[in-house]
Amino acid sequence: MANDHFLTLSCPDKPGIVHAVTGVFAGEKVNIIDLQQFSDPVTEKFFMRVHFGPTPTESPEFLRPHFEKLAGEYDMTYDIRPVAQKPKVLIMVSKIGHCLNDLLFRAKTGQLPIEIPLIVSNHPDFAPLAASYGIEFRHLPVTKDTKAAQEGQILELIKEHDVELVVLARYMQVLSPTLCEAMSGKIINIHHSFLPSFKGAKPYHQAYDRGVKIIGATAHFVTADLDEGPIIEQRVARVDHSLSPKALVDEGSNVESQVLAAAVKWYAERRVFLNGTRTVVF
């Protein structure tokens, strides 16, 4: 797949988009390997993901004039990037490490097509784990009074390392509206409940108090509204009356790791599109 690429696009829905896009590839004699599309009748927006290739050269620039023209005609936002290009991901974590450990292992073994240049934490606990993977670790403590300065450092690190995506792998701090806006659509959080149920702190204890029969986890984009961002993936596990709050936490940690890894993988594979307060996931 050395010369394979992804095309992702969205625009107001209207007739002729599929014909126009596929016509570009046919005209340039470039093979479409996989194509997915969705027309939302509510928002009246159109979304498409195309895996195409191989191209005659490593660069797909010969296609860009065609799509610049289509962008003007259809009010289209589009992106073309190589399949082999891994997004740079900054992982943020506090003192609970199962999601961090899972992401590091999956990235190391090639299960996740991402590059992790940096781990940031408000606690020093996982510096040895980061070192074992040869990844830079930054301990950035935070208090109410230092939050703005700490997040300023995070934004500087994002710029310095050319980070595309921030993953909150059980980072137990609420991000400010400033950081949320600066990285809008580029921060994924794992919440340890099946949203919209049991928002906020200690959701497993809330679930225990309610006697639920399923627990779950939700990966979502972060917005300034706590645990309200567009949902990317959710999964559940069955539980019963015999499980203590700690047992629910242990059971839920497996689901959290799976859900977060799936969301990050789909983002890296250009499968996730924002659609207002919702997502389209191909």
Residues labelled catalytic: 227
CB-facing half-sphere around the CA of 122: CA atoms within 13 A: 20
What element of type H or E holds 21? helix 17-27
- Give the integer Cα–Cα distance in Å for 89 and 268: 9
- Structure letter (DSSP) for residue 227: T
For 87, the 3-state DSSP assignment is coil
Asked if 75 and 255 touch (Cβ cutoff 8 Å), the reply is no
For 41, the 3-state DSSP assignment is coil
Asked if 200 and 226 touch (Cβ cutoff 8 Å), the reply is yes
CA 127-178-47 angle, to 5 degrees, is 95
- Give the integer Cα–Cα distance in Å for 200 and 193: 9
- Structure letter (DSSP) for residue 269: T
Structure tokens at 119: 């781990």
- Give the integer Cα–Cα distance in Å for 102 and 98: 6
The set of residues, in sequence order, having a beta carbon less than 8 Å from that of 154 and lying 6+ positions away, is: 90, 92, 120, 140, 179
- Give the integer Cα–Cα distance in Å for 48 and 31: 16
